[in-house]
Structures are given as structure tokens and as C-alpha cells.
Amino acid sequence: MESQESSVFDKYGQILKRRSIPALGIFVPVVLISLLASSLKKPSYVAEGKLRFQRINTTSSLTGVGTEIGKLESVTQEKTNPLDTEAEIIHSIPVVQKTINKLNLKDNKGKLLKPKEFIARLTVSDIPKTDILNISYRDTNPETATQVVNTLMDVYLKYNISSNRTQAAAARKFIEKQLPTAELVVRIAETELAEFKEKNKVVSLQEETTKAVGVMTDFQEQISQAQSKIADINAQSEEIRKQLGMNSQQALATTSVGQSAGVQDILKEIQQLESQLAARRTVLQDTHPDILNLESKLQVLNGILKQRIKQVLGKTQPKLNGNLQIGQQQQQLTTDLVRLESTRQGLVSQAAALSHFQTTFKQRVNIIPRLEQQQRQLERKVQASQSTYSLLLQKLQESRIAENQNLGNASLVSQAQVPEQPISSPMVSYISAGLLGILAALATTYILEVKDKSIKTVEEAKELLGLTLLGVIPSFSKSKKSVPSNQDPELSTHRLVVRDNPRSPMSEAYRMLRANLKFTSADKELKVIVITSSVPTEGKSTVAANLATAMAQMERKVLLVDGDLYRPVQHQIWELPSNQGLSNVIVGQTDITTVVKQVMDNLYVLTSGVVPPNPASLLDSKRMAALIETFAANYDFVIIDAPSLTVAADAATLGQMADGVLLVVRPGVVDSVNATFARDLLEKSGQNVLGQVVNGVTPKNERHSHYYFTEEYYLLESSSKSEGNYSLPSVKNRRNP
């Protein structure tokens, strides 16, 4: 939590530091104008008076009448000060307007003073730990201020007494209207109670309830016995059903069919016919007339059997188990099952009848609690109506007495005296002017910061782009003053600082970038790197040239290719001719061996050549892809200086042919919109973005400049201005960015 608060304070501190000049330019004029306006104003005088408040009026507390009228209490559940309510009443329009009218107060234009202007000069506040309100009024005339305070207190005191009398009169009128109604309510309640007892023959409801409990217990015992017998019969029936393999209905149906002579006769004929059919089939084929005749007779007999079974069982025909002839034991079991089922049905009917009687009796018994409840309600109604009537009679007498009293909670403590000294002082004017100037300066800073969309610090670049920070390149303070206005901004700083000042802090920053690039790809060696930026003038070409120099100093063969065919810069940085270069090689006008120039040990430069009318078609060609493969085969590292992403999409095209893309970000030059566009373009085109290099960083603009630059950096930079050279700094405090 503390680190987050510290980070927020550091951020605001950097904003104030960055906008200090315009903020100071606003602060000074505002302070001067405020002091001048204060000196031209007339002095103001303040008159004060005091009112005391009591929770209960003394007269009411002594007589005991009207103690609740005008009582100072808060109506809200929160702990609030009732004096605040009285202060708001003093500020109210009726009290203020009456005071204005009494004194005939006028404004500067000679018109009657408006309540809003009056209230702006009025102050009502409570004195801590007291029940006293302090009333003050500010005016350029001390006598007017005194008259206003005294008149206002007098108007409020009269209003307070009038308000309490109004409350008492309103209470009396209300009670007088309610008394006849209350008396009628008492009579109606007493009549309803008498009619209730007579209608329901109520004597002792408690005794009736005790007897009802005993009767209900007997019913419950009989129901339990019947349910126990039913359970026993169900167990016996279940056992018989398991032995027979049929339910009660099937058993009854089987018994009826077995006892039917007609069914049994047909069964015997069918059995004889089936025996004959079986015997004839042993000697005759199925198509023989005798076989067909027997099958026809068998079919007719089966139809007759079904009709007789239907006649025996009637409309309800349970599914039979197929055995229409049962033995004597099965016949006995089916008879027992039917008998048990009949007994069970009788017990179920008995239990249902008992339950019905019990339910009917319960309904009858349930009337008793309701009667008790109705009786208690009627009795309470009678008591409440009688109490209300008695209370109204008492309050009517009290309200008549209170109406004739001068009830009021407020009393005058001290009247206002004519002030002798004005309230304005030089110190107050200075403080007010200073506060106003600070507010104006902060508002200016806020407006400028909101309108400025540019990336300002390394932290903002990291947070906005979300790319790995591979290097932080410091800026020189003498960068742009000595550069002609017609020169490219890329050339406004020391260009080849790694070559010309190898021991400088900036050279060390490029070597740190070189080391971080090596660590970013531990599995695959980076050979071809495209360096680009969001917008022009971010120093991508300078970064590319110095990074190539730093790599060449490691005794690695490096080729620097100027792939920016829109605004090439490398030929100016290295002071090389640009009439022959990359564009000429792509179109086949010249051989690559004649245009690649060695500028120092292990470092070779291929300039852009003649600027073509359509650079994108040249860079996005098979010839360019073949050239990059050739470069990668012949050199240890190939660094391509590509156009800015907002100028053309050539960097994304070259990135597909390279091992990775390095994005250069310059605070104060690129804004958040263009930087976000560049990041999205690289991500959507599927680039291998290695990370970002923040270029042209001013240490004083960073919250944690010691994180990126050592103390020796500032010493070396200052010494370089006087001596023109650098010495090797200590790296004991340097951290890897």
C-alpha cells in the first residue's frame, strides 16, 4: 500500500515538474490580480448576536403542560444537533424577507436586497459544547450590520413563539374533532363484545378446550388400531400373492373361471382336440384336409372360450396368468386372498370413517381458539377505545392551557454591538490570493496534461505498449539548438556516439541493448533484426547505426541496411553517397558487392540508393527476400533500418523476412494513439516483436532516473560539455532494464 501511494505521489510530482513553467505563468498573474482586487474592495464589518436555546420551555416544565410543544429534538435516527435545524429556520426565506422589509435594505443599484444576497452575508453557527447560536452579519456599514442582526433575532423570537402557539391551537382543534368519534368507538366496541358472547354462548372456552383434547385422543387410538390390522392383512395378502404369482383381482378372476362349468367343459374339448391334432400331425402334413379341419375346430373352440370367460368376468377383465384350471390348494389360497382383501377393505372403510369423524370434530374444536382470539380482540378493542377517550379528554384540557401560554425555546443572550474594526486583513488577502493562484495553476496543469497525448516517460511506454524493455537511450541536452532548421530531426543528436565516444554513458546504453537482445533469444540466434518506430523523428536510424556499431565492436561481421526508401538517413549518418544502394540492387541495376561499403572494422553499410516511386513493391518482393537470405548467410548480424509504421507498412513486410522486429519509442515525440496503432499493426501481422527501445530519455523527467542512469552519467555529461570527451563510468549501481 505504501509503495502504491509513493508511486502515485511520484507520478504527480513528475507532472507538476513537467508543467512547472506554464503553471507558474498562471500562478503569478492570478495572485497579483487577486491582491489588486482585494486592495480595491471596501472594508467589511461584522456584527454578532447570541441566542440561547432550551430543550423544554421553563414555563412548560414547571406547569407540566405543553412540554412536548416546541421540544428541541431531532426527528432522524442519526445523532444530529437540533441547533442546526434552528439555524436553517433563521436562514429561511420568510424570516430573512421579513427582516429585509423591516429595515428596507437596498443593494448597490438602489433596489430592495434579494434574500439570496442577504443569506450570503449572514452566518449562523453554534458555539461548541453550548446551547447557544452565534448570529453574525457582514456589511460595509457597521451600523447596518448591527441593525440587521438585532432585527433578525427579534423576528426569529416572535416566529418561535408564534409557531409554538400555532402548534397548541392545532392540537386543540384536532382533539375537539376526535372526541365525539372516540366516544362512539367505545360504545360500538362494548356492544360488539356483548353480542359476541350472546351469539356464541361463551361461558368458559378454556374448559371446552380441555374436554376436546380427550375426545380427539380416543379417536386417534381407534384409528391406530385399524391401521395396525390393515398392515397385518397387507402382509398376509402379500405372502399369498407371492405364492400364487398373481394379485387379488387376478386371483378372484381365476377362481370365477375355475368354478364355471361352461368354461371348464370347453377347456376339456379344447384339450381333446389338441391331442387329436398332435397325433394326426405325426402322420399327416400341415396342409392335409384333416389337419386343417382340426385347426379350424380348435380356433372356433378358442373363440367360444373367450366369450364364456368374458361372460363370467364381466366388463372388467383382469389379465389372467394363462392357467384356467387350478388345483385344490391354489383354490384355497385364492379364496383366502379374496377373503383378506374383503377384510382389508372393511378396515380401510372403518379407518376412513374414524378419520372423517376426527376431522369433523377437529373442525368443531378449532372454533374454540378462534372464539378465544375474537374475544381477546374485542376485549382489547374495548380497553383501547376507553384509554384513547380518556387520554383525549386529558390532552384537551392541557392544549387549552398551553395555547394561552407564551411558549418559546429561544431567548436573547446578547444583542449585537456596533463593530469598531473591519474583518479584512492583509494576511487573509495573501492567503486567499495564494490559494486561488494554486487552484488556477493546478487547473492549468490538469488541462495541459489531458490535452497532451504524447508518451512522456519510460514507465508510460512500458505500461501503454506492454512490450519488453530492452534498452533506454539517454538524450543530450545540446541536441537541437545547434542544428539548422532544414536538417532532418534524426540528425539533431550525436549520431555515432558508440564509435566517437565509446566510453560515454550513451555508448554503454547501446552495449546494454546489444546484451539484452542476445538474452531475448536463447534458443535461436538473432541474425536479421528490423528496427522501426511509430512515427518519424523518434531516432530509429540513429539507434540502428549505433547498435550496428556496438555489435561490430564485438568482432562480429555486421551489415547495416537502410530499408527506409521514403526518408533515408543512413547515407548522411555515415557520409556515404546514395546514388547507388538497396533499390538499385533490387531492380538489378547494380551488383551488391559494389554498393556495400565498409565504414569501420567488421561493419558494412548498404545505403538506400535512389528513392523509387513505389518503395512498397520493391521491399515486398521475392528479390528482397532472397537478398535478406544472402545477407544472413554472409554476415553475423543484419540490421535493417525500416520506415516508420505510420508512414508505410514496409516494416511489417520486412519483419516477416527477418528474425524479429525492434520498436523504437521516443518520449515527447510519439503519442499514445500512434504508438498503440504501431503495436496493433505488428501484433496483427504476426511479427516476432523482440521488444522496445526507449530513445531520447531525459533523466530529470523520469520518476526513477537512477534505475536507468547512474550518478556518473550526470557527471560525465557535464564534464563532456567542458572537456569534449568521456571517461569510463562505474557500473556498480547500474541495473539491467
* E strand intervals along 331-468: 410-414
pLDDT surpassing 90 at residue 210 = no
What secondary structure does DSSP assign to 228-248, as a single string? HHHHHHHHHHHHHHHHHTS-H
The pLDDT value given to residue 34: 75
pLDDT (0 to 100) of residue 476: 61
Among 225-229, 398-402, 497-501, 580-584, where is mean pLDDT lowest?
A: 398-402
Q: What is the mean pLDDT of residues 70-97?
A: 74
The pLDDT assigned to 702 comes to 63
Mean pLDDT of the 674-695 span: 91
The mean-pLDDT minimum among 18-22, 152-156, 294-298 falls in 18-22
pLDDT band for position 323 (50/70/90)?
A: low
- 459-483 tens-digit pLDDT: 888 888 889 999 999 886 444 333 3
Q: Which residues on adjacent β-strands are paired with residue 641?
A: 531, 562
pLDDT of 257 higher than 80: no
Categorize the per-residue pLDDT at 15 as very low, low, confident or very high, splitting at 50, 70 and 90: low
Please, which residues bridge with residue 45 across strands?
Answer: 139
Q: At what angle do helices 426-451 and 2-18 cross, to 10 degrees?
A: 90
Question: What are the phi and psi torsion angles at 532 (to 5°)?
Answer: -140, 180
For residue range 510-521, list pLDDT tens digits in order: 999 999 988 876
Kindly state the DSSP code that residue 670 receives in the 8-state scheme: S
Q: Which whole-number Å values give the CA distances from 211 to 369, 373, 449, 610, in the listed order? A: 14, 19, 91, 121
Please report, rounded to a whole number, the percentage of residues in the chain having pLDDT higher than 90.
Answer: 23
What distance in Å separates the CA atoms of residue 648 and residue 484, rounded to the nearest whole number? 27
Q: pLDDT of 96-114, one tens digit each?
A: 999 999 988 888 788 888 9
In a 3-state reduction of DSSP, which class is residue 288? coil
- Provide the pairing of β-strand 528-533 with 637-641: parallel
pLDDT of the residue at 261? 66
Q: Across residues 196-202, what is the average pLDDT?
A: 77
CA distance between the termini of the chain = 24
pLDDT of residue 339: 77
pLDDT over threshold 70, residue 647? yes
Least confident of 224-228, 561-565, 606-610: 224-228
Cβ count near 126 (within 10 Å): 17
pLDDT surpassing 70 at residue 253: no
Nearest residue to 621 (alpha-carbon basis) of 659, 588, 578: 588
Q: What is the mean pLDDT of residues 694-716?
A: 59
* The pairing of beta strand 597-600 with beta strand 603-606: antiparallel
pLDDT for 714 equals: 42
Structure confidence at residue 494 (pLDDT): 46
Statement: residue 223 has pLDDT above 90: no
CA atoms within 13 A on the CB side of 582: 31
Over 70: is that where the pLDDT of 62 sits?
A: no
Max avg pLDDT among 118-127, 337-346, 544-553: 544-553
Q: Quick check: pTM over 0.85?
A: no
* CA-derived radius of gyration, the chain: 55
Could you give the CA distance from residue 118 to residue 705 in angstroms, rounded to a whole number? 56
CA distance 663 to 645: 10
Looking at the predicted structure, is the pLDDT value of residue 393 above 80?
yes
Please choose, from the candidates 591, 589, 186, the residue with its C-alpha nearest in 3D space to the C-alpha of residue 392. Answer: 186
> Contact at 8 Å (CB) between 65 and 403?
no
| Residue 621 amino acid letter | S
| More reliable by pLDDT, 203 or 78 | 203
